[in-house]
Amino acid sequence: MTTTSAALETLKAVVEPIILNPAYHDFLAIVKAARNGAVYGTKVRFPHAFVMILLFRSGTLQEKARLIFRATKTHARNLAKFATIYKATCMLLKAYGATPGKEGPYDSFIAGLLGGYIVFGQRSRNGKISSVNQQIVIYVFARVVLALARLAVKPGIGLPGVSEPQKSAAISYYAWPVFASVSWGAVMHLFKWQAAELQPSLRSSMTYIYANADHWDGLRNFIWHNK
């Protein structure tokens, strides 16, 4: 066994009993949640930023690389911060809540509320909201709306009179087409008449697809190049 392997085995023998000790589980869950948030944020944001910035942003390769790194760093950092605040708050509420040692029914909502405010609800020094944070919050909001729509038609949940099996099935079946069509109708209308209000990366991609499709002066920028 090499010196490096022996050192790793020694480190493993020291660390594993600690991380497997139930007494440290809640604290270590906070650490792992932060790690998972950072890794997931990097995996999600890097390819998205790489494609969007490389294709739709102007500037030198160095400037684009800086923007990609900044977007990836912001996404990873903020998910790690949120995960840390959320897990830590849940742990504190469980320990000092109405029933110590037992998780309360609204602990997750309170922890999410606090984390959302601290991490995603703040503005930068110049008073602007981070575009990365906007995308994350809008993504989450859309999923919440869909989940609430499904809950609204579940038996025993939602408004009286809408939980009968046939009506519930009909609403569930047509909810997605309505949601998709209204979303796309609204965004195309906004892009046509109030494009400046749309999120910059969405506006850039829509300009590339729709607005630039109206202009060409030859075969070269009709097929091979957009402009």
Among 48, 69, 67, residue whose Cα is nearest residue 57: 67
pTM score, two decimals? 0.75
| Cβ neighbours, 10 Å, residue 82 | 23
For position 148, what pLDDT does the model report?
82
> How far is residue 54 CA from its own chain's centroid?
21
Q: What pLDDT shows up at residue 162?
A: 47
What is the Cα–Cα distance from 215 to 163, expressed in whole angstroms? Answer: 51
Which of the four pLDDT bands, split at 50, 70 and 90, describes residue 165?
A: low
In this prediction, residue 44 carries a pLDDT of 92
75-120 pLDDT tens trace: 999 999 999 999 999 999 999 988 888 888 899 999 999 999 999 9
pLDDT recorded at residue 142:
87
CB atoms within 10 A of CB 71: 22
Cα of 104 vs its chain's centroid, Å: 25
Domain ranges in the chain are: 1-121, 130-227
